[in-house]
Amino acid sequence: MSSPQVLPRIAVVGSSSLIGEAVIAQLRARKVAYAELHALDEVRNVGRPPADDGEAHAAGALAVKDIAAFDFAGIDMAFFCGRAALAESYAEAAAAHAWVIDSSATFRGRADVPLVVADVNAAVLAGSAARGLIALPGSASVALATALAPLHTLAGVLRVEVATYHAVSGGGRGAMDELAGETVAMLSGKKPRGRAFGRQIAFNVIPQVDLIDTDGVSREERRLSEETRRVLGLPLLAVNATAVRVPVFFGHSLVVHASFERPIDPAEARAVLQRGNGLSLIEADSSAEFPTPATLALAPDRVYVGRVRPDPSRDRSLNFWVVADNVRKCAAYNAVSVAQILVNRGH
């Protein structure tokens, strides 16, 4: 007779952030069983319930605690949700006692830390111990790798040209507030502040996400290239990326031009995308026609692909469009999926 499953004790670090709130919502929506759930954050957020946690608020069961006073020896799993400062200060100490699933960029570049997209390379978790660090790629990298994985299996991807259109929620709650405030101000004939991104974001497009290095490549563009290669297990994959910030609240979009080792028929590509893990293909003859951030991207468990067509300028190449909710699908849903794989593997 098998022994009963021991339910994990879970902490959500950065629980007041957009990703932290989305992780708590995912745990509840997917009815993840746990023995304890702790919401942790910096001292300025102590005592208030996570904004999206209506159930816990009604029950008075889940208020934010001070991370500085928390003992990670008493948990089995910790979600670190987006804030690099928290991961830098506490994640490694927590990983001495628990699995730490980190959505910040803090550990993504470390070769000894698995970089995981649950729908693509969950097999890298097979050798994980009962505790330690696990890094999650950035949201654009999750969307791109999820779309490329089945196409690579079909025809062997060689090169990717990608332009990303990042939603402002990738910059946090303050960036969303700024887009809303600037929009109201401009519609009222007032001047926008332009603080979150160094310039106006409302009614604008900014070809910069994160800092630009001396070679002219932004850190987001570099991360997108490196993370996509690593998740797909293709260290020689050529990735040429341009990352752009657009005035959209939720949902990153990507224009992808991909070249392959073998001839690839668009009909075959559409068929394999429709069967891909975590993917939905939107056909041109459907009522939706193609995905957009304001419509299909808000469904939390799918990366959407549309406008799949041949590249008329190159052989063995395809063009397509990708949309995914950066906070819910690419960050929170991926984090909880990784956690479920770890828990199920352990029993």
**Nearest-CA neighbor of 256 among 270, 244, 239?**
239
What is the pLDDT at residue 346?
60
What is the distance between the alpha carbons of residues 162 and 236, in angstroms, rounded to a whole number?
A: 16
Residue 1: pLDDT over 60: no
- Specify the DSSP element, H or E, that contains 59: helix 54-59
Choice among 181-190, 317-326, 337-346 with the minimum mean pLDDT = 337-346
Directed axis angle between helix 18-29 and helix 334-345, to 10°?
50
- pLDDT class of 58 with cuts at 50, 70, 90: very low
State mean pLDDT over 225-230. Answer: 98
Cα–Cα distance, 21 to 19 (Å, whole number): 5
Residue 286 pLDDT grade (very low, low, confident, very high; cuts 50, 70, 90): confident
Tokens found for residue 22: 């989305």
Residue 53 banded pLDDT, cuts 50, 70, 90: very low
Q: Is the pLDDT of residue 59 over 60?
A: no
* Per-residue DSSP letter, 166: E
309 Cβ neighbours under 8 A, 6+ residues apart: 266, 318, 319, 320
Mean pLDDT value across residues 242-258: 97
| pLDDT (0 to 100) of residue 158 | 97
Is residue 347 scored above 70 in pLDDT? no
Q: Return the pLDDT at 300.
A: 65
**Separation between Cα atoms, residue 224 and residue 145, nearest integer Å:** 10
Token pair 């007041």 is found at 16
CATH 3.10.28.10, applies to 9-137+331-345: no
Residue 293 phi, psi dihedral angles, 5° rounding: -60, -35
Is residue 5 over pLDDT 80?
A: no
Give 93-112 pLDDT, tens digit per residue: 999 999 999 999 999 999 99
Phi, then psi, of 336 in degrees rounded to 5:
-70, -35
Q: State yes or no: pLDDT of 191 exceeds 70.
A: yes
Torsion sign over Cα 303, 308, 312, 314? positive
* pLDDT score of 128 more than 90: no
pLDDT of 302 reads 92
Report the topology of domain 140-326. Dihydrodipicolinate Reductase; domain 2 (3.30.360)
pLDDT tens per residue across span 23-37: 999 999 999 999 999
pLDDT given for residue 157 in this prediction: 98
Nearest-angstrom CA–CA distance, 270 and 281 = 7
Residues 6-15 have pLDDT tens digits of: 899 999 999 9
Residue 50 pLDDT level (bands cut at 50, 70, 90): low
Q: Where are the domains of the chain?
A: 9-137+331-345, 140-326
For residues 244-263, average pLDDT: 97
Secondary structure class of 240 (helix, strand, coil): strand
- pLDDT over threshold 70, residue 61: no
Going by C-beta distance under 8 Å and a sequence separation of 6 or more, which residues neighbour residue 61? none
DSSP for 245-272?
A: E-S-SS-EEEEEEEEESS---HHHHHHH
- Closest by Cα among 296, 204, 301, 206 to 251: 296
Give residue 126's pLDDT band: very low, low, confident or very high (50, 70, 90).
confident
DSSP 6: P
Whether pLDDT at 48 is above 70: no
| Residue 130 in tokens | 């009962």
Over range 284-304, report the average pLDDT: 82
298 vs 18: CA distance, rounded Å = 14
Q: What percent of the chain has pLDDT over 70?
A: 92
